Amino acid sequence: MSRSPSSSSWLERFSSQNASHPTQIALRTYALGLSLSLGPSLLPFVTALLLNKPSKRTGRTALLKVLRRELGIDGFAFAMTFAVWGGSSLSDWWAHLEACSVDQHENTEDKDSGKPSPIRRVRAWISYLNSKLQPRQKTFLSYIIPSFVCVLLLQAGRRPSKRTNRSREPVTFPIPYTPLTPSPPSEQGRVSPTLDLTLLLVVRALDVVVQQFVMRRSEILAYSRLKERQPQPERLREQQIQEEKVKKRMALTTSIDALLFWACSARIMWCFFYEPQRLPRSYVKWINSLASVDSRLLRALQLIRERKWSYIHGSPSHPSLLTSMAADLKLPARWGDPLVIPAFGSDEGNKIWESLGVKSRAGVGGIPCEIVHGGVGSTFGLAGSCTANATLRGMTAFVEAFAIYFPVHLLPILLTRPRALLRPHRASRILVSSLRSSAFLSAFISLFWSSVCITRTTGLARLFPSISHDFWDGPYGCILAGCLMCGSSIWIEHGHRRGEMALYVLPRAIRACIPFNWIKNPKARAMAFERLAFVLSLSSLLTASRHHPEALRGVARWALTFMMNGPRAGFWQRKRQALDTTRPPSPSSEDNTQKL
């Protein structure tokens, strides 16, 4: 039985030699999306099974609910697959229609031109549209409608039910690469379920725009730099231009990434102290574990901002907030009384400190450092030393970070290329990368605490003793200084990791800047704006993956390269070449791509 020409053509396109067929793109997208959404959802069930600790949340009913959610047409995997497959199919159909209209025009151009038929009018309109639009614009328009259907499916599938609202249980849905925010009971069923994913896509799409600007700028700088040199042979000149472009692009990109991380970390840390409800709970918990700040001290800082706790007027509603903390630290309770603590650095304040037995705050006011440090260094008799506080906190953070970063750097090599660990330079590279990442986090903590102490104790407060500590301990005093300084530790990290870290914190910083009432109870206008941002961002990313893949980087480049081109491109090709020692290595533009 012979196959029809159309069937043979389809089978030929579906073969492994054509990885860009929409059906193959759909299969890869669904597999990747399902692994990113269903995998984390099944982790609690696997853990409960291994530990033999069954519970209601890991029972059969809960498992079936997770499977129905993730495997349904409104699940993450199917919704994203529909967007990618639909846009690819429309793009191919558009190209096929364009070719047919050109052939039809060539076949009929010599015939009599009477009154045009509707079909001829449509073909003429398509020809006119094709002549006005560029290929990337056609691709972008092809992804608009499927992306809109995608966001509608995601929001419909993750809309909390009335029963869930009545039970007031936290509703969480896994979204790739982004921790989710369980909403407080008063906010359940109101926060948009796709907000985190939308912000993630917006950030990645903006990064594509920035990278395209950086590439154009680096090319201009490279040509202007080589004009100053003596004339070179054409082949050598092109090589020098490419090297100069890569160098300039890396310099510009790392500078922009460092600036973004600094600004985002400042906003996130400020929200951690004063508006933690704007951040994911898991994020707040992680920062608190590293910062190790007593909740009573955090509450006192928030009350100072609200002008309900003052060194001048006291705090009638919270008089024992810090006195209990001082007692727990085995310090005199009066050290935490706002009516007793001096507000200014004056002679009268020095007499009060002398009567209280505080020896480290002569010339300044405010809470004694022993309380602010939370007892750090008390074992060595250095509870009041600002230097010891910053140093010990930095050392503790370094040890904890190394316990996290070393397995992160080691496991990918151990699982994919374990023989590489036998090479001394490879093993030393993993160790150095882990130490560097740990030093970054350690410096982040140390810089924050050093800036706080320099502002309120050892530096600015001594230079301006007439300014009340209601300001120095307020939201625009020592805390703001610490938030502005801690992000500068990003320069310790390797250049290729700064970009992924900046793109990781940027969605959270943007969310922290959105008016809270938009997030808590989004109206129709806010939902429409989010859907528009989702559609434009996803369409831009998918368009860039086909026309400007060099502008993608990090996780976005890894995922989109696999989805659009299959395992024969980029990262996946390098892995096969590493396993096959008989093949010579080939150069790839992915060599500078950062990996998680």
Domain membership flag for residue 571: yes
For residues 267 and 483, what is the distance between their CA atoms, to the nearest angstrom? 7
Domain membership flag for residue 53: yes
For residues 423 and 371, membership in a common domain is answered with yes
Identify the three-state secondary structure at position 314: strand
The DSSP H or E segment spanning 53 is none
For residues 40 and 167, membership in a common domain is answered with yes
For residues 442 and 489, what is the distance between their CA atoms, to the nearest angstrom? 9
Domain membership flag for residue 100: yes
Q: In this structure, are residues 299 and 287 in contact, taking their beta carbons and an 8 Å threshold? A: no
Domain membership flag for residue 481: yes
For residues 347 and 492, membership in a common domain is answered with yes
Over the chain (596 residues), the average pLDDT of each successive run of 10 is 48 54 89 88 82 78 86 91 93 77 52 57 68 85 94 79 39 36 42 88 95 89 70 70 84 92 95 91 86 92 93 88 93 92 90 90 92 90 91 94 88 78 85 92 95 94 93 94 95 88 93 84 84 96 92 89 76 47 37 36
- Long-range contacts (CB closer than 8 Å, 24 or more residues apart) made by 396-400: 396/292, 397/290, 397/441, 397/442, 397/444, 397/445, 397/446, 398/438, 398/439, 398/441, 398/442, 399/438, 400/290
For residues 555 and 494, membership in a common domain is answered with no
For residues 451 and 353, membership in a common domain is answered with yes
DSSP readout, 408-440?
HHHHHHHHH-GGGGGSHHHHHHHHHHHHHHHHH
For residues 366 and 484, membership in a common domain is answered with yes
For residues 540 and 474, membership in a common domain is answered with no
Q: CA torsion sign, 419 to 422 to 425 to 427?
A: positive
For residues 539 and 471, membership in a common domain is answered with no
For residues 481 and 384, membership in a common domain is answered with yes
Domain membership flag for residue 234: no
For residues 92 and 496, what is the distance between their CA atoms, to the nearest angstrom? 35
- pTM here is 0.81
For residues 456 and 310, membership in a common domain is answered with yes
Note down the domain range covering 37: 18-105+120-190+535-579
For residues 434 and 330, membership in a common domain is answered with yes
Q: In this structure, are residues 521 and 308 in contact, taking their beta carbons and an 8 Å threshold? A: no
Residue at 84: amino acid letter:
V
Q: How far apart are the first and last CA of the chain?
A: 51
Counting the structural domains of the chain, the total is 2
Domain boundary among 487, 507, 527: 507
Q: What is the mean pLDDT of the chain?
A: 81
pLDDT at residue 473, rounded to an integer = 94
Domain membership flag for residue 595: no
Q: In this structure, are residues 180 and 173 in contact, taking their beta carbons and an 8 Å threshold? A: yes
Domain membership flag for residue 60: yes
Domain membership flag for residue 246: no
Contact partners, residue 19, CB within 8 Å, separation at least 6:
25, 565, 566, 568, 569
For residues 550 and 455, membership in a common domain is answered with no
Count CB atoms within 10 A of the CB of residue 71.
13
